[in-house]
């Protein structure tokens, strides 16, 4: 079963206000995203990294953990479950 984030936000459909609401995005980066997207939809996270100055794996992980997707795909590192359980002696 595939579980989508409750607050999923597709980068190819999001408006400036929605992008600005992502923690760490800010108005300058959201404008870079929109300017690059105006030249054509993003095909993958790698495409975003190539076309948007200031966007790399660290930011992608941060934004994807908040629900941002590219063509419905979360950034791979953001999908990995975090294990914070207690270790057995």
- The CA–CA distances, whole Å, from 29 to 51, 55, 84 equal 12, 8, 32
Secondary structure of residue 89 in the 3-state scheme? coil
The pLDDT tens digits for 54-69 are 999 999 999 999 999 9
The pLDDT tens digits for 7-29 are 789 999 999 999 999 999 999 99
Q: What is the pTM of this model?
A: 0.78
N-to-C CA span, the chain: 34
């Amino acid at each position: 079963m595939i579980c989508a984030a409750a607050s999923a936000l597709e980068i190819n459909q999001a408006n400036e206000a929605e992008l600005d609401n992502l923690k760490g995005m800010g108005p300058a980066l959201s404008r870079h995203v929109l300017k690059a997207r105006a030249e054509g939809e993003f095909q993958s996270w790698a495409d975003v990294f190539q076309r948007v100055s200031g966007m790399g794996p660290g930011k992608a992980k941060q934004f994807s953990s908040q629900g941002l997707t590219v063509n419905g795909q979360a950034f791979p590192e953001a999908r990995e479950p975090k294990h914070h359980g207690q270790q057995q002696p």
